[in-house]
Copies of this chain bind each other. A is one copy, B any other.
Amino acid sequence: LSRLVVLGDGSWGTALAGLARDGEHDVSIWSRKQPNSAPLARAQGVIIALPAQVIGDVLAALALPPGAALIIAAKGIERGTHRFMHQVVAGTCPKNPALILSGPSFAEDVTRGLPTAVTLAAEHLEVARYWAAQLARPHFRIYASDDLMGVAIGGSLKNVLAIACGISDGKKLGASARAALTARGFAELSRLGKALGARAETLVGLSGLGDLLLTCSSEQSRNYAFGKRLGEGMPVEEALAASSGVVEGAYSAEAALALAKENGIAMPITQAVAAIIEDGATPESMIRSLLDRPLGIE
């Protein structure tokens, strides 16, 4: 049994803390509102359940014990630097092993004890296996992986693509259109993954495809719900304000597009989402540009 600190008291941090307590670990929750609330110095594992865009700053300000495992339970790409979360953590805390916990798992499903399966990745497979065994519960299965980049890309891109699926549904384009958009979106995610060294098996696994299709098809997803508001005609600022919690895909879209350009990869759906959020393009123009692309070979 381990001494764990969960950074973040949002729905996901609270759900993960509950799971760890069920597993009889010694668990404290730290929050930005109460920065002295957790005994960080003695932690063996730190679960990072904070919004992706603040993780760099928060970790730089905290005194984390060297050697403690940093288990990232956040998904996204840092704006400006275009770094994935494990790169942010490794840059800030080079003496700590960084892991990513990711996969199709709504906090509410986990809290209710419904069956869930996720991936835990670390640079070294033994580290991933050790923490997978520590944190798994009968209804919360954890598969170990050593493909950090593959897990990071799936978790980040799915939020961007969920916005596109939400827009399609907001415009009432139908289930068939959304399915085509999701499949084409997965092809974009896979192209970027391949260019950045992710393994194909990871991309089609729980943390890639599994999480993508959960996020792209459910009102419970904040990113999907945000896109749906855009599709219904709400302006970007208003749709962001109407969201409960952080709409990570709205921040990651620009960074994902920059990575695509750096690597010479076509990501038309990501590009359309970024244009809507960053440049005031209309959802109509996105639909038109996607539908009017020349007929190609699949």
Contact B295 A174, beta carbon cutoff 8 Å: no
- Which of B119, B175, B213, B295 is within 8 Å of A143, CB to CB? B295
Q: What 0/1 pattern do residues 283 to 298 of A give for CB contact below 8 A with B?
A: 0000100010001111
Partner-binding segment picked from A60-68, A108-116, A228-236: A108-116
Residue of B nearest to A112 (CB): B174
Nearest chain B CB to A169's CB is how many angstroms away?
11
Contact A114 B173, beta carbon cutoff 8 Å: yes
Partner-binding segment picked from A16-24, A25-33, A51-59, A204-212: A204-212
A contact set with B: CB distance below 8 Å: 103-106, 109-110, 112, 114-117, 119, 125, 132-133, 136, 138-139, 141-145, 173-180, 182-184, 186-187, 190, 200-202, 204-211, 213-214, 217-218, 220, 287, 291, 295-298
Contact A141 B295, beta carbon cutoff 8 Å: yes
Contact B116 A297, beta carbon cutoff 8 Å: no
| Complex contacts, A208 vs chain B, CB 8 Å | 183
- Which of B175, B184, B206, B296 is within 8 Å of A106, CB to CB? B175
The docked-state distance in angstroms from the alpha carbon of A173 to that of B139 is 11
> Copy number in this complex?
2
Contact A295 B132, beta carbon cutoff 8 Å: yes
| Complex contacts, A175 vs chain B, CB 8 Å | 104, 106, 109, 214, 217-218, 220
| Complex contacts, A176 vs chain B, CB 8 Å | 104-106, 109-110, 114-116, 214
Contact B174 A119, beta carbon cutoff 8 Å: no
| In the complex, the 8 A-B pairs of residues with the closest C-beta atoms, listed nearest first | A183-B210, A104-B179, A179-B214, A143-B298, A114-B174, A109-B174, A117-B180, A109-B176
Add 14 more A-B contacts to A104-B179, A116-B180 (CB < 8 A).
A104-B176, A109-B174, A109-B176, A115-B287, A143-B296, A143-B298, A144-B295, A144-B298, A178-B214, A183-B210, A187-B204, A206-B298, A213-B213, A213-B217
Nearest chain B CB to A255's CB is how many angstroms away?
24
| Complex contacts, A105 vs chain B, CB 8 Å | 176
The docked-state distance in angstroms from the alpha carbon of A156 to that of B131 is 39
The docked-state distance in angstroms from the alpha carbon of A214 to that of B175 is 7
Contact A295 B186, beta carbon cutoff 8 Å: no
- Which of B115, B143, B178, B298 is within 8 Å of A177, CB to CB? B115
Nearest chain B CB to A287's CB is how many angstroms away?
8
With contact pairs A143-B296, A173-B114 given, residues A204 and B190 touching in the complex (Cβ less than 8 Å):
yes
Counting chain B CB atoms within 10 Å of each CB, the highest count among A125, A145, A186 belongs to A186
- Which of B145, B187, B213 is within 8 Å of A179, CB to CB? B213
Residue of B nearest to A113 (CB): B174
Counting chain B CB atoms within 10 Å of each CB, the highest count among A136, A179, A180 belongs to A179
Contact A205 B298, beta carbon cutoff 8 Å: yes
Nearest chain B CB to A152's CB is how many angstroms away?
14
| Complex contacts, A116 vs chain B, CB 8 Å | 174, 176-177, 180
